Amino acid sequence: MTNKKKEPESRKVERAHLQRPNEELRTMPSDYTISLETRGGTDRLLVNPGSDRMQSMRGFEDTYVDIIDYIVRITHRIWEEKDIGYIYDTYKHNSLVVDGFGLQYGRDKIVADTVHTINAFPNIRLYADEIVWAGDDKVGFHTSHRTVIKGDNTGFSRYGPPTGRRIELWCIANCIALENEIFKEWVLYDNADLVRQLGFDLREMARNIGNQRKDGSVVSTSFEPERLPGQGKPAYLSYQPGQSLDVSDFLHSIYHNILNRRMLRTLKESHAPNFHTLSSNGRRFYGRNQYQAFLLSLLATFPDLAFQIDDLYWMGNDNDGYRTAMRWSIVGRHDGWGIYGPPTGRPVHMWGITQHDIRDGRIIQEWMLFNEFAVMQQIYRD
């Protein structure tokens, strides 16, 4: 690769508009020394977590050797061993949690929601697929925990009486932890797929719950997506590869150009030909063409769609590849024909978390989860 060209001042201004300031405050792990993979996966870690500290863990319980160990073992203890009260020791009293139903405040709400879910699926099992992390014990550990969830619906849930059906879905939880306590969390369960697997009519359920809720399910009707600067045109962000991949510049550029400038040809440069995606509601895309078709369906459904990256961190290096955690949001009005039926004109807020696997300067796989059930509530409510 050639050396990175000198960045013009106009480009720096564009990047400053897109860059999140907390990216600069965190250390990104440059290798996979501390990772789920090097620990041999969840089962081996739970059997033999070890006793020697792998990194500084100021304020954390002595039993935890690194941040991966902390996330895996508190999840197992709370959910599978059903030691739900351990939430009081591992979540701050005024924790902020954003999920597919909106903002939750305080750990008592977290305890109540956990009891509710375990009651609905008493034999629930959580299998950790990946944990991307960054930061340290000074600014906080940032973790993105991707998990597959399995269980049988033998108890009551927010959707109705038990159906007896077995479910298998996945979720991603992005947390910030400091001194043994999680104080912020963004968690997405694939609720749309859950409702479908339970045997309910997805659109009808979205309509019913949307009609019951008058807060996070409804977006203000007074908004204008900031994709266009007045009557001007959206900026074009040209990524210039250097001796080492600039992960932040790479992802900000390609997503802005694809979704805000509608330049879908960018996929040929940024994604490998055999690219693979897992997404909400059981979607799987193989190759760039299927993924491009899905993005087109979103752009057609929300013609004024505007996209932004809200948080981004990663681990890895050029030789071993990079694994990323990108939290993002979209606003737009349902003015087009598409995957959610005839246009309603309703304003919609969508947010999601995407994890990437990047090798040799291209994305080879991604896991993209978004609040689809909440989007449907916003569209189908009366």
pLDDT (tens place) for every residue of the chain, 382 residues total: 333 344 444 444 344 444 444 556 789 999 999 999 998 888 888 888 888 999 999 999 999 999 999 999 999 999 999 999 999 999 999 999 999 888 888 999 999 999 999 999 999 999 999 999 999 999 999 999 999 999 999 999 999 999 999 999 999 999 999 999 999 999 999 999 999 999 999 999 999 999 987 654 444 444 555 666 566 777 788 887 777 899 999 999 999 999 999 999 999 999 999 999 999 999 999 999 999 999 999 999 999 999 999 999 999 999 999 999 999 999 999 999 998 999 999 999 999 999 999 999 999 999 999 999 999 999 999 8
Report the distance separating Cα 227 and Cα 306, nearest Å.
5
Looking at residue 299, its pLDDT comes to 96
Kindly state whether residue 312 falls inside one of the protein's structural domains: yes
Residues 368 and 303 grouped into a single domain: yes
What are the structure tokens assigned to 192, written together? 């749309």
In sequence order, the 6+-apart residues with CB closer than 8 A to the CB of 10 are none
Residues 101 and 177 grouped into a single domain: yes
Residues 188 and 277 grouped into a single domain: no
Report the distance separating Cα 123 and Cα 82, nearest Å.
10
Per-residue burial over 123-134, b if 16 or more Cβ lie within 10 Å, else e, is ebebebbbbbbb
Question: E strands of 140-221, at which residues?
Answer: 140-152, 166-178, 181-189
Kindly state whether residue 26 falls inside one of the protein's structural domains: no
Residues 189 and 272 grouped into a single domain: no
Instruction: Indicate yes or no: pTM above 0.75.
Output: yes
Residues 237 and 151 grouped into a single domain: no
Kindly state whether residue 342 falls inside one of the protein's structural domains: yes
Kindly state whether residue 216 falls inside one of the protein's structural domains: no
Residues 251 and 364 grouped into a single domain: yes
C-alpha distances in Å from residue 366, one per residue of 125, 215, 275, 337, 370:
23, 31, 8, 27, 13
Residues 246 and 175 grouped into a single domain: no
Query: What is the CATH number for 308?
Result: 3.10.450.50
Residues 157 and 262 grouped into a single domain: no
What are the structure tokens assigned to 22, written together? 């907390």
Residues recorded for the chain: 382
Contact of 183 with 177, CB cutoff 8 Å: yes
Kindly state whether residue 213 falls inside one of the protein's structural domains: no
Could you give the angle at the alpha carbon of 188 between the alpha carbons of 134 and 114, nearest 5°? 100
Looking at residue 29, its pLDDT comes to 96
Report the distance separating Cα 259 and Cα 205, nearest Å.
30
Question: 């959910």: which residue's tokens?
Answer: 79
C-alpha distances in Å from residue 280, one per residue of 81, 172, 254, 259, 350:
28, 11, 21, 18, 12
Looking at residue 177, its pLDDT comes to 97
Of 20, 310, 28, 24, the C-alpha closest to 141 is: 28
Report the distance separating Cα 133 and Cα 83, nearest Å.
25
Q: Which of 166, 200, 234 is the last residue of a domain?
A: 200
Looking at residue 42, its pLDDT comes to 86
Kindly state whether residue 169 falls inside one of the protein's structural domains: yes
Of 170, 144, 177, the C-alpha closest to 323 is: 144
Kindly state whether residue 53 falls inside one of the protein's structural domains: yes
Kindly state whether residue 193 falls inside one of the protein's structural domains: yes
Number of domains comprising the chain: 2
Of 298, 204, 218, 203, the C-alpha closest to 259 is: 298
Separation of CA 6 from chain center: 33
Residues 132 and 250 grouped into a single domain: no
139 C-beta neighbours (distance < 10 Å), count:
14
Residues 182 and 235 grouped into a single domain: no
349 C-beta neighbours (distance < 10 Å), count:
18
Residues 347 and 374 grouped into a single domain: yes
Report the distance separating Cα 237 and Cα 254, nearest Å.
8
What are the structure tokens assigned to 377, written together? 């509530």
Residue/partner pairs of 157-161 with CB below 8 Å, 24 or more apart: 157/116, 157/117, 157/120, 157/198, 158/116, 158/209, 159/194, 159/195, 159/198, 159/200, 159/205, 160/198, 160/200
Domain span including residue 328: 9-20+223-380
Residues 285 and 367 grouped into a single domain: yes
Q: Which of 169, 200, 231 is the last residue of a domain?
A: 200
